[in-house]
Amino acid sequence: MLLETYQAKGLLTVTLVNGQTSTAGVYAYRGDLVLKEGALRDGSLTDRKPPEALFIHSALIIENDKIKFINGLLPILDLLPVFVEKYKADIAPDAIALIYVENIGKALKVELEGVTYELLPFKEGLVWNELLEELYIEKSELKNQSAEDKVAIAYESAKSRKSKAPLVSYQEAQDSTFVVVKDAAVGAI
């Protein structure tokens, strides 16, 4: 199974959900996905330092060992090709990808390796809550559902979503990025 393979390779971290949905053969994952592994620790062949880059708060649906639904947060657009390169063999050609990106100002679509990625601007908040809002999913629709089925509900809703975001080249998307300045919060809040 694909998620077990990722787990064995150390590609899943901060896992919130990892299991089969109520539909046989369909699996859901929520957590962080490693994009760039940390360097090996001195003298070790297996122990690594923390990852250098993550696909944050990701939500995935896997069916027939192919990723059918992709959601999460990239701090910078530059990490999208890193994600695609690392996971392209596992991404279904008809995958639905709704990716939040911190350094874009408007929704865009780009196509990489035959898959269309919808890029959504992200300011603050929780990625999962932003996704539910984007897909018009009410909390009541998720009540009494398993954690895995909640991800499946988001996937089903995303299938019927109509986007008005323009399809642009990756270079055009890259040209529209900006530097994100975050407020520093120090001390007791």
14 domain-assigned: yes
125 domain-assigned: yes
Residues 11/34, Cβ–Cβ less than 8 Å: yes
186 domain-assigned: no
State the total domains in the chain.
Answer: 1
Answer whether residue 176 shows pLDDT above 80.
yes
Instruction: Give the domain extent around 154.
Output: 2-175
185 domain-assigned: no
180 domain-assigned: no
Answer whether residue 95 shows pLDDT above 70.
yes
Average pLDDT over residues 148-168: 95
CB atoms within 10 A of CB 180: 13
The Cα-based distances of 110 to 12, 16, 78, 102, 150 in angstroms read: 25, 29, 13, 16, 27
Residue 6 CB contacts under 8 Å (≥ 6 apart), including other chains: 12, 33
187 domain-assigned: no
Sign of the torsion formed by the C-alpha atoms of 70, 57, 154 and 150:
positive
Q: Mind listing the pLDDT tens digit for each residue in 122-154?
A: 988 899 999 999 999 999 999 999 999 999 999
189 domain-assigned: no
Residues 21/30, Cβ–Cβ less than 8 Å: no
27 domain-assigned: yes
Rounded CA-CA distance 172/53 in Å is 23
